[in-house]
Structure 1
Amino acid sequence: MNLQKEYWNKIYESILDKKLKYDPWLDKYENILMKSKDTPIIDLGCGFGNDTLYLKERKYEVISCDFSEKALRRLSNFIDNLNVKCFDMKDGLPFQDSSAKVIISDLSLHYFTWNETQDILKEIKRVLINEGTLICRVNSTRDMNYGAGQGIKIEENFYNIDGNLKRFFNESQLRELFREWDILYIMETEINRYNMSKIAWEISIKKM
């Protein structure tokens, strides 16, 4: 089994009964989200399911995606009739071309090599309609509480930390990664995650 998948399966198995709780970071994107009232929003790497819950409470249709079947099983225990897809982003996205208006990826795009990350972005662009939007958060290079600069270096700002692969981004790397997109919003922010302060980048980009 993929060691990353095994790690996350154990995490979700250990918190099966822990209730969902979200922070309102998506509030500022209401105008973007509203454009997808008639089309399911893809929650890519939904994990704990916080953003799925946020969207479902506001009557959006959501496709909740993760490579951990334990995460999706846990989430289905809290939300009825949930539309889920289990897959590894490195294998591509199982969606038709130009089939989504909005994709959300909250802390799920920073586990890959640079080339893999670029390939995943190409897949996201393929799935989005013209002028469709990706809203995401990723690790910052200042995220010291969660391993920035620690472990065995694989690539610049990409580390093996006790068998867990993690990437951390600075602004110049993000602007390079998204240079073929229209960057609507990019800001480094401090959030509370897993009971500790976390430094992350929050980004909204539009397919050109």
Structure 2
Amino acid sequence: MNRDSKSEAPVKKLRSRLKEATADAILAAAATVFAREGLHAAKMESIAEQAGVSVGTLYNHFTDRAALLEALRAKRREALLERLDASLAQVEGQPARVQLRAFVVAVFAHVSEHDVFVRLLMQLPEDAARTQNKSRVLAELNRRLEPILDRGIKAGELRAEGRAFYPALLVGMVRGALDRLREGDRASPAAAAWAEEVLRVFLKGIEV
């Protein structure tokens, strides 16, 4: 390897980091503008201004609104999974009840923090991209739930019968409660209370 190629490596890394930072700034700005103006009313020019970049730079990163929305979905999915992994790492080796609580509380907390944007996404018609995103999220949630449930059964904390349905049941209960929260019912409890109630009802049916 010659000296020129060695000297170019740090420059390439710096450019890559700058590009990633710009994309992150655009996504953060897009979420803000979409929440403020709505998915259909928001203009790419407004997003560029919010991000502090030119419209040309915005289009260099995201070819159109659909690409921007898909990137936002992916970013939210990544943030959720990172939060879940961090929460579960803190309770690793503890009883299944404790680990399941960490899982449910993390999901509710994440959705609550990004509630406005989640509401906006829910207004979009079902399409291939949205369906694919849901499938990816569910697959990742199941991948984290299943080892917890299996260890709980092995430890004698949870019932073995019906194990195949446990992940779908818990995720379904969480999604149902989140839908109620998004309806804005003033009589509904806060997200933290919903999380505890979902967990209580779920465990009541599967604990030994």
Alignment TM-score, normalising by the size of structure 1 = 0.27
More helix by share: 2
RCO higher in 1 or 2 (8 Å CA, sep ≥ 6)?
Answer: 2
Alignment TM-score, normalising by the size of structure 2 = 0.27
More strand by share: 1
